Amino acid sequence: MANYLGPKVKLSRRVGVPIADIPKHTSKRQLNPPGMHGYRGRRLRDYGVRLNEKQKLRYHYNVLEKQFRRLVKEAGTTKGNTGEVLLRLLEQRLDNVIRRLGWARTIWAARQMVVHGHIQVNGRKVDRPSFRVSQGDKITVKEKTHNMVRENMESMAGLVVPAWLSFDPSTLTANVEAVPTSDQIPFDVNMNLIVEFYR
């Protein structure tokens, strides 16, 4: 299946949590279950609970199922806690870093910014949203995109940039200072259920 292009609020309603930090997703009215009058349906069984938790994470990072499976497999073969490694791999995606810096309001806008070639990593244009940044990388925006990025930053005035990233607003330059840890990720999800889902 290709990338989801339909209404994004539907995804938030489906999993019951806001998957983007914008008013459209965070308002209480929007988090009613989908369907007529917010029909809730039957109670979820064990499989359904694990599936829902996995979908939350997938939608939050805008990752396809095939990519997600590959990341779970990589996290399983990497030294350390599988859930924490998976979160770290997702957090280090370039489109997610752009969102965390506040250069784009949503993950979908960040993805578009990367695909259209507005972002440079260490002086080179990178147009793959799945590009994994590493410690010491320098991220910049092309000159012609500065106005758009500044407008996005003004609309998200209260955003706090994570501690693993440093950011200079005057030059719109960011540096990856460290590897992200699970406590620095502002999205609440039960990683144990997700790891169990793929076993």
pLDDT in tens, 152-164: 888 887 788 888 9
What DSSP line would sit under 148-197, residue for residue? HHHHHHHHTTT----TTEEEETTTTEEEE-S---GGG------HHHHHHH
195 and 80 Cβ atoms separated by less than 8 Å: no
Burial class (CB in 10 A: 0-12, 13-18, 19+), 93: buried
Q: Mapping DSSP to helix (H, G, I), strand (E, B) and coil, where does residue 138 land?
A: strand
Is the pLDDT assigned to residue 1 strictly greater than 50?
Answer: no
For residue 3, give every residue at least 6 positions away whose Cβ sits within 8 Å of its Cβ, in sequence order, or none. Answer: 62, 64
58 and 52 Cβ atoms separated by less than 8 Å: no
CATH of 9-90+188-197, one of 3.40.50.1980, 1.10.1050.10, 3.40.190.10, 1.10.287.610: 1.10.1050.10
Segment holding 121, helix H or strand E: strand 119-121
78 and 46 Cβ atoms separated by less than 8 Å: no
Q: What is the mean pLDDT of residues 153-176?
A: 87
Outline where 4-45 has alpha helix (H): 9-15, 23-26
Ranking 18-22, 38-42, 164-168 by mean pLDDT, the lowest is 38-42
Fold adopted by 93-179: 3.10.290
Q: Where in the chain is the domain with CATH 1.10.1050.10?
A: 9-90+188-197
Q: Where in the chain is the domain with CATH 3.10.290.10?
A: 93-179
Segment holding 53, helix H or strand E: helix 46-61
Q: What percent of the chain has pLDDT over 70?
A: 90
For residue 190, give every residue at least 6 positions away whose Cβ sits within 8 Å of its Cβ, in sequence order, or none. Answer: 53
Instruction: Enumerate helices (H) and strands (E) in the chain, giving the number of each.
Output: 9, 5
> How far apart are the C-alpha atoms of 3 and 106, rounded to whole Å?
15
Pairing between strand 138-141 and 173-176? Answer: antiparallel
pLDDT in tens, 67-106: 999 999 999 999 989 989 999 999 999 999 999 998 998 8
Going by C-alpha positions, the residue among 191, 174, 7, 14 that lies closest to residue 90 is: 191
pTM of the model: 0.87
